[in-house]
């Protein structure tokens, strides 16, 4: 079983809609989770991190964490074409707290 499962998409939403991205994880000991956005040919950039159950909002982005169900999600409200990218969830683990990434979800926001 993979440590992080992510709906691979691709996902297309119209401009202005809500995009929903999801990850499930297998390690119940995981405490914190990160969402990264990666444009083609670029390195990942951090969008949000969350470590408490519930929702965390930052502008148009909301991260949701449910430790009992072992899933973490990212909602993007009022999606814009500039949000079109691959979104990666990740969590730190191992002795060095290295990030383990999901496979990524390619999001396309249609104008």
Partner 1 sequence: GAVVSQHPSRVICKSGTSVKIECRSLDFQATTMFWYRQFPKKSLMLMATSNEGSKATYEQGVEKDKFLINHASLTLSTLTVTSAHPEDSSFYICSASGTVGYTFGSGTRLTVV
Q: Is 111 in the site for partner 1 (CB under 8 A)?
A: no
Ramachandran region of residue 70, left (φ > 0), alpha (ψ -120 to 50) or beta?
Answer: left
Among 7, 22, 70, 100, which residue sits at the site for partner 1 (rule: CB under 8 A)?
100
Told to check if 45 binds partner 1 by CB under 8 A, we report yes
Nearest to 48 by CA among 58, 38, 22: 58
Omega cis (within 30) before 8: no
Q: Does residue 50 interact with partner 1 by CB under 8 A?
A: no
Nearer to partner 1, 20 or 106 (CB): 106
Contact call for residue 97 and partner 1 (CB under 8 A): yes
Binding of partner 1 by 26 (CB under 8 A): no
| Binding flag, residue 34, partner 1 (CB under 8 A) | yes
Number of residues that bind partner 1 (CB under 8 A): 19
Residues that bind partner 1 (CB under 8 A): 34, 41-46, 49, 88, 92, 96-104
């Amino acid at each position: 079983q993979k440590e992080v499962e992510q709906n691979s998409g691709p996902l297309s939403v119209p401009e202005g809609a809500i995009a929903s991205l999801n990850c499930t994880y297998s390690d119940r000991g995981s405490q914190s989770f990160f969402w990264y956005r990666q444009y083609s040919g670029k390195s990942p950039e951090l969008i949000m991190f969350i470590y408490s159950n519930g929702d965390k909002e930052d502008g148009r982005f909301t991260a949701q964490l449910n430790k009992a169900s072992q899933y973490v999600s990212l909602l993007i409200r009022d999606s814009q074409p500039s949000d079109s990218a691959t979104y990666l969830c990740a969590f730190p683990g191992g002795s060095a707290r290295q990030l383990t990434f999901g496979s990524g979800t390619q999001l396309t926001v249609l104008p």
